A and B are shown apart, each in its own frame.
Chain A
């Protein structure tokens, strides 16, 4: 667990990102290269009018934000990050009306790249809605050493 003030700062930072705010994302947990972010169901995010299922792009946005947050919380403390690539596999349609929660872990970092895995769930925590793998830039502060 990160110190409460660091978590609070991270929450304010993430929830202030305009696009994350537009999708009403809320940071649930963050620390040590891991993050959990939730996004409520909203009829405006529907991608398939016949079923009412949220558009894959909104799930991608949640995964991307959560992946970036996991990278920023890495103990090596990067100063910035950007997505290099992100692949999403959709296991099943998210249930209309249920919020989506993404969990991301930054499982390896090099001097300049962070590797991330993420999983998204609706209220059924045993059956993922989607999984993702991504590579992010890992910008270290210029005076910080390279461990």
Chain B
């Protein structure tokens, strides 16, 4: 039997693919969003910065910044889930630079539960259904307490097809 790959080799390969994906999208850099990976689970992190404010008196996050953060988290989760499968089966190699195929948003509904504080925000997306053509994704975002969500969203996405590339 072949010896298992050293853990650091696996981690480096997965992290390289994730950073290749996120650094390819300019809007992620514009907002300053980072991704924390644990196995295949991603947590999107939006470090607070003054340019994200929508209400200067309260220093509250702009609804549009929150919506953008949730949509980025949903789109990256979907793209990552596809890439992960291909990476694990050896179909893709993070050494070869390819532009990721990003799903297209069909609709996106944001539910604002409480105002976004001037703190870092976190989001995790869950793919509720992913077919060949369409996917439905739910995202939850919180700040200090995981159980006190400040926003959540549901979106539908059109998956890229082989012909689209």
Contact = CB atoms under 8 A, between A and B. Distances in A.
B112 A84 contact: yes
A44 B27 contact: yes
A49 B25 contact: yes
Interface size class of A (residues with CB under 8 A): 35 or more
A85 to B, nearest CB: 5
Contact of B64 (A44, A60, A93): A60
Contact of B25 (A46, A68, A85): A46
A68 to B, nearest CB: 7
Given A22-B51, A57-B71, A60-B64, A17 B107 contact: no
A50 B51 CA distance: 27
A83 B30 CA distance: 23
What size tier do the contact residues of chain B reach?
35 or more
Contacts of B55: 17, 82
B109 A85 contact: yes
A77 interface: no
Interface string A36-59: 000000011111111000111110
Contacts of B69: 57
Contacts of B56: 16-18
A65 B71 CA distance: 17
Contacts of B62: 17-20, 61, 64-65
Interface stretch (B11-19, B80-88, B96-104, B141-149): B96-104
A48 to B, nearest CB: 5
A108 interface: no
Contact of B75 (A47, A65, A89): A47
A22 to B, nearest CB: 4
A82 B68 contact: no
B65 A89 contact: no
A85 B67 CA distance: 10
A87 B109 contact: yes
B50 interface: yes
Contacts of B71: 55-57, 60
A88 B25 contact: no
Contact of A61 (B24, B26, B64): B64
B110 A55 contact: no
B68 A55 contact: yes
Interface of B: 24-27, 29-31, 50-56, 62-65, 67-72, 75, 99-102, 104-112, 115
Given A44-B27, A46-B26, A68-B63, 7 more contacts: A20-B54, A46-B25, A47-B102, A64-B63, A82-B112, A85-B111, A90-B108
Interface of A: 16-23, 43-50, 54-58, 60-65, 68, 82-90, 93
23 contacts: A17-B54, A18-B51, A18-B52, A19-B51, A19-B62, A43-B26, A44-B26, A45-B27, A48-B104, A50-B101, A54-B27, A55-B25, A55-B68, A57-B27, A57-B68, A61-B65, A64-B62, A65-B62, A84-B111, A85-B109, A87-B108, A87-B110, A88-B109
